[in-house]
Every structure is written in C-alpha cells, then in structure tokens.
Amino acid sequence: MPTAETNAQTALDALASGQHGDPFAMLGIHVLDGVRSVRTLQPQAEAAWLLDRKGNELAPMEKVHPGGVFVAPLSGRYRHYRLRIQEPGGRRYDIEDAYRFPSTLGDLDLYLLTEGSHQEIYRTLGAQAQTQLGVKGTRFAVWAPNALRVSVIGDFNGWDGRRHVMRLHPGSGIWEIFIPRVSGGDKYKFELLGTDGRLLPLKTDPMAHYFEPPPGNASIVYRSAYRWKDKDWMRQRRSDTGMDRPVSVYEVHLGSWRRKPEEDNRALSYRELADELVGYVSDMGFTHIELLPPTEHPFDGSWGYQPIGMYAPTHRFGEPDDFRYLVDACHQAGIGVIMDWVPAHFPRDEHGLGQFDGTALYEHEDPRKGAHADWGTLIFNYGRREVINYLIGSALYWVEEFHIDALRVDAVASMLYLDYSRKEGEWVPNEHGGNENLEAVEFLRHLNIVLHGRGATTYAEESTAWPAVSRPTEAGGLGFTFKWNMGWMHDTLNYIGEEPVHRKYHHDKMTFGLVYAFNENFVLPLSHDEVVHGKGSLLGRMPGDDWQRFANLRAYLGFMFGHPGKKLLFMGAELAQSREWNHDASLDWHLLEHESHRGVQNLIKAMNRAYASLPPLYEVDFEPAGFEWIDWGDRDNSVLSWIRRDRKGRPVICVSNFTPVVREGYRLGCPEPGQYLEALNTDRTEFGGSGVGNPEPVEAEDQPMHDRPYSLCLTLPPLATVFLTPE
C-alpha cells in the first residue's frame, strides 16, 4: 500500500514532468509539514531565493526534486512574495510567481460560460490584460473539458509546458491562469495532454485577437489602444436597417484590390487602404464596402473562407488597431462596413479547432455530421451550447469591438441541410426523419436576434428555396435582414451570355426573378464567385465584338440598378476587368487608360449617383407596390420595360434593349402626363457608348398603350438601359 511519502514523491514527479493535472494544489503558498511555505517549479533554475515584495531576500529555496521543484518557508506576516532565479551560467532575474494569484474568473462568468449564454465571452476567455494584487499581467482562459492538462507556453517561459499549467474549473471545462508581466506582443500557444495522456499538437488560442504569420502560427497577446471617432455614425446605425435606403455594395478582397509592384508586389496595409480604398469607394458613390472574410486564416487561397481565428483580423495587413482605423475611416466617410463571416466550417490545420482537446470538441464526432467532403473542412457542432456561445461571441466581437455594421453569413445552405452535397447514406436525418439541420436553424435565429439587438444587420448567402430567410423569427423566419438573390444572378448572367439574336428564346430568364422578388429582402449580387474558377470576368461573358461586349455589360448593369433589390458588385467590375480575378495580383488598374474601360467606371459612378438620388429605385425594394411591368413580353425585340415607385408613388421608368438594334419610335405606356427626362442612359458617349438616346424631354402623348392612358415615343439605344423621370 503506498505510503504518504510515496504519494508525495509521485505527485512531485508528476509536477516536474508536466503530468500533474492540478498544480495549484501543490504550488504557491501551502502548509508543508506544519510550516507555511512556498513551493515553486522552475525547471530552468539552478538555484532560487524567496523575496519579499520589495525584492529583499527572505530565504534560499531548497531544491527538493531534480526536475526543478524548490521549497522555502514563508513567515506568516508576509502575504506577497517574489522569486529570484539563477540559471546555469550564473544569470539571475526576479519573477512573480503565477501560483500565488487566485482565480480571476467569477462565479457568474463560469455559470454563463457553462450555460453557453455569455455575450461577452471575448472579454472572459482568451488572453485578457489584468492587474492582480498590484501586478500587471495577462489572464489566460480556454475551454478544453476533456484535456488532462493545459499549459500556456510562450516567449515568456521558454515554450516549456511544465511552467504554467493552468487551473481547471470543474464542471465548466474552463482552464485559467494569471501570468504576471506577460504583456502585449508576447507570443503564446496552448499545450494540452489528451485523454490518453499524450501531448496533442500545439494549439493556437480559439479566442486570440492577433496571430503571427505561418509557419509559426502563434497567438499574440494584444492590447488595443484605439480611440474611435465615429460616435455619430454608431448612434444613427442603431435605428437604421437600410431597407428603405440605397444600398450599393463594393465587395473587396483586401489583398488584391491594389498592390505595390515597386515593393515586391506587396498588398496595401489596413492604414493604406483607409487612405486609398475608402476615398475611391466614396468617389465612386458606393454606400457600403463588403470585405471578404478578414478573419485570420492560414491559407491565402481560401480568400479567408476557411478561418482559424474567429476573433482576429488577419495579420496580413497590420495589427487589429490598424483594422479598426480602416473601419473608422469608412464610417467617417459615410460608408458602411459589411464583413463576410464564416460560422459554417473551419479548416483541419492541426493548430486550429479540430480535435482541440483530443476529442471532437467544436466539430461532430460523426463525419456524416462533422465533415465537409467538398471543402475538406470540419462543421461546427450547433447542438453544443459552448460552440454556439463561441460563434455568437465572435459575431458580437466584430460588431462591438470593430464597429462592423453587418455580417454577411457565408454558406448558409450548407448549414441548413444535413444532406448538403451528400449522397444517400452519407448523412444522418434529424429527429423527425428530415434533412433540415434543426440545431443550425436555431443558431441562425438566435444569431440574428442578438445582432439586430445591437444595431447590426445581417445578410444570408443562401442559394436554395428555404422559406422566410429574411423574415422575422417571430413569424417563423430565420431573421436575416437581407438574402442574396443567387437565382437572379445565375439566370440573368446566363441570359446576357447569349448572342442577342438568341435572347428572345431565353426572355423568361430576365423576368422570372419578379415572380419571387418580394418573397425575401433580396440583394442582387454580382460577387467574386462569378469571376473565378474558369467562369471568366463579367466582360468576358459578354458576346460579340469589343463594342458589343462593353455595351452588353453596361446594359446589364443598368438593368441591375433598375431591378428591385439592393446592389452588390465585386471589385474590378467597374474597370470592366478582362481577365478572371486572381487573389495574388492587383486589379488591372492600367485598363483605365482605355476609353472603353474608363467608360464603364464612369457609368457605375453615374449609376450610384442616380440610384442614391432617385427614391423610386430603392425606397420600396421589397414590396410589390414598388414595381410594375410596362411590358415584360416583348421577347421578339428583347426589350423589357417597367416602373419603379417610391412611397409617394413617384415613378422612374426603366427600359432595357438587349439587342444591338436602334429602335426608333418605340412606344410604351406611361403612368401620367407631362414631360420625361433621361436620368440615365448607358449608351452615352462618356460611358463608351454611341450617344443614341433621347437628349430632349419626351412628352407623354394622350395615346393609350400597355393598359395605360398615356404613352411615350422613344428612341431606344442599342444594347442599353435607360431611366426616365417625370420633369
């Protein structure tokens, strides 16, 4: 039978080897053999001394284990102490002992974390700057319920997992330790022992605010010192969803918008982007910037869609406060910021979330639920309250700490369907036998409720017919503010890719979107996904000779701006980029030397201005009252005409001619008498067009047409869209 002495030696052996699961039970101040003493583990030390808080030596410490365990008595009148360490070679330095500090996690924090309802998890877990007992340092906390031991390792302890083993809070699975004198800029990781007692691959902090570049991939302690200047913007955003306002979004991949070829083709920094990108977007008239995921990600080629740091702006363009500077600059210029956010899946990189504590912690154990075969990634377990807390906390972190105005949630369809991209037998039905992921549905509803409560808006990238994606949760919807209209995008791009002579056979592709246009709060996206993977650029999809290709593109963009729904263009569309987007290269800004490309840029600038100045084009986007066809059936001429109205019923007439034929004397009904002016014509010479149109006011004639008492006799320019407004 083991003796007390044997047990004590076993505990010391475990402590010195880094196998002890509760070092706080042995280190720090304890009564040993009836004497109040300090025990410390310093495996790097040759000798150690106990000091008072002023640095005066109280006693040399006895080395009681060859692995670096030292002990010395501490007089009862001393509440605080320090340590002096001597390494082999004679180097001496003084340290604070992490094991003299009590836990800094309160009962309420632990309760909320266990319940999965802590809405400021980003202030609790991870690396938090604190001052304890008058000493500055960092409190580390991480969720790893199945680990036998968790240590913080870093620059400050020689990356030695024995020196700062964390305290486990039973019942919550939270490990925590306050490490004195650890400050901003220090690198760290977590070292874990799995359930089998083996060391796991070193893990970065799931809550890290900053990362070092690969291959190191360490988390970095970060202290924000940023002072925001967007108080007025933040005040007004709480009451403005943007549903009845113009929303024209410029979608941006920060690493390839513009580069510095003279500096080894480097990307612009966050602060350079704040100066150059924000000014450009403002000048172009866009109302919002949407950022491809700025969250930290290990692989450039994922464009950010395989995040590994859900609480960290990528290191690629600067520090987190530099990213704050970029967002602040947008707000001061009157530009909203949308960021792509990816709660659907995460990569398998061994330093990330996968098998975090040796078990399927953030993902499902069953690959039929937990793995994306298409993407080689892992799926979050939406049935686990701690995982939901982690994801909701991430969303709130960006909204609160970085003043992000909206999240565009990526790959929603993959979250909603258990059989997404899976064959029979490769998925597990829900409790009712269906293919709906009920846990993901509840997560998305909860996410939208929480974010709307903070004044943020949400966009769903959802490509199926799932009902009520952008309807309130109390009405049974998912609760998103807006939904991307993927069907409109695919149908209309297919149409515009046809030769004009064949378009009359595909006319319904341009009209079908109006059958369901008001079922959701739609955004019309011409996104990055449409200019990669062999699809070519938008310009490259247009048929005909060079003149027709540019004219087709201009007419199509005009059709988009006249169609119900908010607008989104991926960067480069305004340049009429000729080649596919390449994330490793700058946009082809040199194309603006050519009049045709410069004309498309001028058009988009003019359309943004017209769009923002004409309430009928945006005020009633999501109700039938904001739209009516004049003639949807002129397929033989490939002409579409319709009316947009604002809340007061004021009209804008929109006409698109998708053939290269000038149509003189084209008559269409109009809603009221008077003169009508061209507010926009995509065929104007400043846009690279031929200059055909209606330069003078057109009088509505008392001649019924299209079930209306009046009509206009127009000249329709070739391959062009025209907007007309009452004088």
**Catalytic residue list:** 410, 461
Between the alpha carbon of residue 716 and those of residues 6, 180, 558, the distances in Å are 97, 75, 14
Task: For residue 658, give Cα distances in angstroms to 511, 661, 685, 718.
Answer: 13, 9, 18, 7
Structure tokens that stand for 685 in this block? 């010479």
Enumerate residues 6+ apart whose C-beta is below 8 A from 615: 646, 647, 650
For residue 692, CA distances in Å to 354, 604, 686, 712, 718 come to 60, 19, 12, 17, 8
Whether the bond between 215 and the residue before it is cis, its omega within 30 degrees of 0, is yes
Amino acid at 359: T
- Tokens 């309130």 identify what position? 472
Helical segments of 385-537, H only:
385-401, 412-416, 438-453, 486-496, 508-511
**460 strand-pairing partners:** 409, 483
The interaxial angle of helices 595-613 and 270-284, nearest 10 deg, is 70
Residue by residue, what is the 3-state secondary structure of 214-258? CCCCCEECCCCCCCCCCHHHHHHHCCCCCCCCCCEEEEECCCCCC
Q: How many Cβ atoms are within 10 Å of 66's Cβ, its own excluded?
A: 9
b/e per residue, 44-59, with b = 16+ CB within 10 A?
Answer: ebebbbbbeeeeeebe
The structure tokens 């034929």 sit at: 661
Q: What is the CA radius of gyration of the chain?
A: 31
In angstroms, the CA 523 to CA 487 distance is: 11
Return the sign of the alpha-carbon dihedral for residues 145, 146, 149, 155. Answer: negative
* CB-based contact 539:550 (threshold 8 Å): yes
